[in-house]
Structure 1
Amino acid sequence: MKAMVLERIAKVEDEPLQLKDVEIPEPSKREILIRISACGVCRTEIDEIEGRRKPKLPVILGHEIIGYVEKLGEGCKRFKVGDRVGVAWIYSTCNRCRFCMDGRENLCQDFKATGCDEDGGYAEYMKIREDYAYPIPDVFSDLEAAPLMCAGAIGYRALRIADVKDGERVALYGFGASAHIVMQVIKYLYPNSKVFVFTKRKNDEPSKLASKLGADWIGMTGEEPPERFEKAIDTTPVGLPVLEALRNLERGGRLVINAIRKEEAIP
C-alpha cells in the first residue's frame, strides 16, 4: 500500500514526509483493518514532524481518520466488513486502570496515540483494536466527518467538562479548528448563552469566521469583554490566555484548558 512515512525529525518545509510502498497491516485478535477514505491534518502532526512531540520513527502520521472495515481479526463483534468507521487520537489503552474505568483513557499509563505511538491514517490502510473505532452516522460525508475525530471530539469534551448551562456567558480563547465547532454547538444547545471570542489579531480570518457564526463579542486576548463570564475554554498553545481567562471569570467560574501543550510558560 501507499503511505506517507515520517522517518526523521525536520522542519515541515524540508518535506520529511516521504511517499513509500509498505505492507498492508494484518489485523490481530480483536483488531480491524480499515480502508482509509479520508484523514484530516491537525496541528499536532506539525509538532510531531518538527519534534516538539516525539513520535516513534518511522511512523505513519494522522489521527482524524474515516474509512471502511476491510477485514476482521479473530473475535471481532462490533463491526462487519463494509461498515464506515472513524479513528481518533486514542489508539489504545490498558482498559483496566481507574482512568480507563471512568472515561479518562487519555491519562492511562499505557496510552498510545494514533499516528504517533502507532501508525495512523496517512495511508491506504491501517489496523486498530475494534473498541477504538467508532461508527459514523450517515449525515456526515467522509470529508466532513474526519475533523470531528479530533477537533470536534476534544471540543465537545471541553464543553462537557465546562458544564455550560443555558444562559451562561462562555469565553473562547482562540478560534481555530476546535473552537469554531464548540461555538456552533453552544449556539445550538444553549440558545440563551452569550459567546465571547478572543483572537490573536483584530479582523483576521478567525475573527471574521466568529462573526459569521454569531459570536456576541469579539476581541483580542487582553481586551476587556463587555461582561464577566461563567465559563471559559482555552484552545491556544500559549500561556497568556490562561491568566486573562482567570482574571475575567465570575466568582465560581470554570476554565477548561484544551491543549496538548503550551509553547511558552504561563506568565
Structure 2
Amino acid sequence: MRAMMLEEPGTPLRAVDMPVPAPGAGQVLIRVHACGICRTDLHIVDGELKEPKLPLVPGHQIVGTVVATGEGAGRYAAGERVGVPWLGSTCNTCRYCLSGRENLCDSARFTGYHINGGFAEYAVADYRFCFPVPAGYPDLQAAPLLCAGLIGYRSLVMAGEAERLGIYGFGAAAHIVVQVARFQGRHVYAFTRPGDIRTQKFARDMGAVWAGNSDELPPEELDAAIIFAPAGELVPAALRAVARGGVVVCGGIHMSDIPSFPYEILWGERVLRSVANLTRRDGEEFMALAPLIPVRTEVKSYPLEAANQALDDLRYGRFNGAAVLVISDPAEQDRLV
C-alpha cells in the first residue's frame, strides 16, 4: 500500500510502499478514504511531541470502510464506514479508566503517534475505539469531526454554560465549535493573529458575532474562552478578557511556554484548565449531535502524496477550516485485500 512515513522528527514525510497490515485480535482493517490533518500531526512531525513510534504513519482523523476483522472484533462488518480518532486504546484497569476518565489513562496509545495512522491506503484500529460515521457526511466532510470536532466539543463542555464565549485561534476546531455554540444559543467572539482579516471574515461567516485581533479585548467581557492556538502568550490575554468566575480552556495538546502574569487577572475565581485527548463518550455524544445542528465542515483537500504541502499550509495558516488528505475513492473496487 501507499503511505506517507515519518522517519525522523523535523524531516519531511517520505512516500513509501509498505505491506497492508493484518488485523489482530479485536482490530478492524480499514480501507482509508480520507484522513484529516490536525495541528497535533504538525507537532509530531516538528518534534514538539517527543515520544512517537518511529518510523510512523501519522494521521488520526480517519474515515474509511471496514474490509476485514480480527478475532473478537464483532461490532463492525465488512463494508461498514467507520471513523478512527486520536485515542487508539486504553488499559481499562487504571484509576482513570475506572473513573470515566479514560482520556487520562496511564497506558493510553494514540492513533498516528503510537499506532500507525491514516496517511496511508489502509490502517488497523481497535474496534472499540472506532465510531460509526453519520450517514449525511461525505468522507471529506466527516474526517475533521474525528478530532477537530471531538476536541472542540470536549473543550466547549469544559467551558461550562458560558453565554459569551471567546475562541482564540480560528482553525479546524474553532470553525466546528462556533456552529455547536450557536446551536446552543451562545455568542461567540473570535480572536485571530493580528491583522488576519481573511480569517476574521471567515469567523463571522461561520457565526461569530465579533472577530478581532488576539492582542485586543472584545467589546464586552467573556464568560469563558477556549484557546486552540498553540501560543502560551494567549493565556494571559484570555484571562484578561474573561469576567470574574470565567473559565479559560486550553484545548491543544501542545503550547509554547506561558509567560508570567499578575495574580489579579486570575483572581476573582477565574479558572484556567487544559483539555487532554478525548473519551469514547465524547465521540458518541458529538457524533449524535453533529447531524442535528447540522455541523458543516469547510475543507481543503490534498492527495496523499501532497501531505507535506498540506502540513506546511497548516503551519502557515494558508487555508480556512480543515485540511483533509484524499486517500482512495470509496466507489473504487478494492484492489489490495
Aligned length: 259
- Cα drift, residue 44 of structure 1: 1.8
Aligned to 1:112: 109
Aligned to 1:17: 13
Higher relative contact order (CA 8 A, sep 6+): 2
Conserved? CA contact 2:165–2:223, under 8 Å: yes
Aligned to 2:47: 51
Aligned to 2:2: 2
**What is the 5 A alignment of 1:109-148?**
109-148=106-145
Name the % identity.
45
TM-score by length of 2: 0.74
**What is the 5 A alignment of 1:163-178?**
163-164=160-161, 168-178=163-173
- Cα drift, residue 33 of structure 1: 0.8
- Cα drift, residue 22 of structure 1: 1.2
CA distance in 1, matches of 2:85, 2:75: 17
CA distance in 2, matches of 1:185, 1:210: 14
1:197 counterpart = 2:190: yes
CA distance in 1, matches of 2:227, 2:6: 30
Gaps of 5+ in 1: none
Among candidates 54, 57, 61, match of residue 60 of structure 1: 57
Among candidates 23, 29, 39, match of residue 25 of structure 2: 29
Conserved? CA contact 2:58–2:118, under 8 Å: yes
Aligned to 1:234: 227
- Cα drift, residue 143 of structure 1: 0.4
Aligned amino acid, residue 26 of structure 1? A
Aligned to 2:258: 265
Choose 98-107 or 223-232, whichever is displaced more: 98-107
CA distance in 2, matches of 1:21, 1:209: 39
- Cα drift, residue 203 of structure 1: 4.3
Among candidates 174, 177, 184, match of residue 179 of structure 1: 174
- Cα drift, residue 263 of structure 1: 2.1
CA distance in 2, matches of 1:238, 1:53: 15
Conserved? CA contact 1:238–1:266, under 8 Å: no
CA distance in 1, matches of 2:120, 2:237: 41
Aligned amino acid, residue 125 of structure 2? I
Deviation sequence 1:103-161 (CA, Å, 0-9, x none): 43221110111111110001111111110111001110000011111111100111111
Aligned amino acid, residue 34 of structure 1? I
Gaps of 5+ in 2: 261-337
SS at structure 2 position matched to 1:255: strand
Deviation sequence 1:40-63 (CA, Å, 0-9, x none): 111222222221113211111111
SS at structure 1 position matched to 2:224: strand
CA distance in 2, matches of 1:264, 1:205: 27
CA distance in 1, matches of 2:196, 2:116: 39
C-alpha spacing 1:266/1:102, structure 2 compared with 1 (3 Å): farther
Aligned to 2:155: 158
Q: How much is the aligned-residue C-alpha RMSD, in angstroms?
A: 1.5
Aligned amino acid, residue 92 of structure 2? N
CA distance in 1, matches of 2:33, 2:210: 38
